[in-house]
Amino acid sequence: MEAHISQELERRLLAAKLPTMPGVAIQLLHLGRSEGSTIKDLVQVIGADPAIAARLTKLANSAAYARNVPAGDLLSAVRFIGYENARATALAATVVPALHRSGEPAFAHKEYWRRSAIAAVCVRSVGRRWFPDDVESLFLSALVQDIGVLALTQTSTSLYSGLDESSYSHERAIAHERKALHIDHAEVGSWLLERWGFPDHIVRAVRVSNNLALWRAFCKEGDDQPNFAAGVMASGLLADLWMSREDTDLEVLRNSVLELLPVSWSEVVELLSDAMVEIPLVESLCQVQVPDLSQLQLTLAILKDSLDSDD
């Protein structure tokens, strides 16, 4: 499933100052492509960055994993979390702070990262319910699903003109992209992640993350459980629900989430409520802040009221 970006846009992207992958991230991606890599190889790469090693050990000892015996060192932490989950977590902890420093200065970075962080918070709750073996891969995917926006800010200083911190939203950004380029940032993001060597299932999830029709076409239908790409897409929609403004079409977001996940509306609200406890963990792992917590709590109360009114 290739991204359909034009040759002209690809030329502009290649000529732009795109975010660069930190050395540790490159090594982590290489391990994922190496059939002979072991847990000890992974520990060696992660251990080269003491800060990331400390965050990973903290994760293994957190309530998210409910470990009875604390992990005393990085090796025991990786063994407990699991090779692939540990690699995905380390990638998130390496890549996201690097991306945080990139992008056009005039762009609405605060709102962009707020959605990314809240999507990551939500996807951990989604993962615990339906993808317990893939929580950290979902976490990484949710954080990078909108990376195409950052890439596009480097190709044009006017693409998102008029969208400041007070008016920026994911849907408005997509509208600007489709009007100017006839595609959106999901195509660009999947193109970039594929160039960097991210796993195919993450590239695929990012590719369909803004398009329900595309998800229906490329992902299996009729499964009893949602698939990986559905979990990633739902994380962004849940973030949009949670960050909703007065002009947000809550009904469209609600119906889309209910199509992606086998849940009722009451379970969606419960999922968001449960996700609140994930905020400190996400902030610690990726060195990003989820601002305006009081506003999130207020919006959650409004969503609960809408549930009561439906009853």
User: Residues 259-288: pLDDT tens digits?
Assistant: 999 888 888 888 888 888 888 888 888 888
Compute φ and ψ for 68, nearest 5 degrees: -70, -45
Domains of the chain: 19-94 (no CATH), 102-310 (1.10.3210.10)
Report the alpha-carbon distance of residue 219 to residue 235 in Å, rounded: 17
> What confidence category does residue 91 fall into, taking pLDDT thresholds of 50, 70 and 90?
very high
Report the alpha-carbon distance of residue 151 to residue 76 in Å, rounded: 37
pLDDT at 144: 94
> What confidence category does residue 30 fall into, taking pLDDT thresholds of 50, 70 and 90?
very high
What is the C-alpha R_g of the chain?
19
Report the alpha-carbon distance of residue 207 to residue 211 in Å, rounded: 8
Tokens 């009875």, residue located: 68
Tell me the per-residue pLDDT of 34-90, one tens digit each, with 9 for 90 and over: 888 899 999 999 999 999 999 999 888 888 777 777 888 899 989 988 899 899 999
pLDDT at 187: 95
Q: What is the mean pLDDT of residues 175-193?
A: 94
Mean per-residue pLDDT over the chain, rounded: 86
Burial (CB count within 10 angstroms: exposed 0-12, middle 13-18, buried 19+), residue 282: buried
Q: Which two tokens stand for residue 158?
A: 């006017």
Tokens 């998800």, residue located: 215
Using alpha carbons only, what angle is made at residue 241 by residues 238 and 247, rounded to the nearest 5 degrees? 150
Higher pLDDT, 300 or 212: 212
> What confidence category does residue 220 fall into, taking pLDDT thresholds of 50, 70 and 90?
low
pLDDT at 34: 85
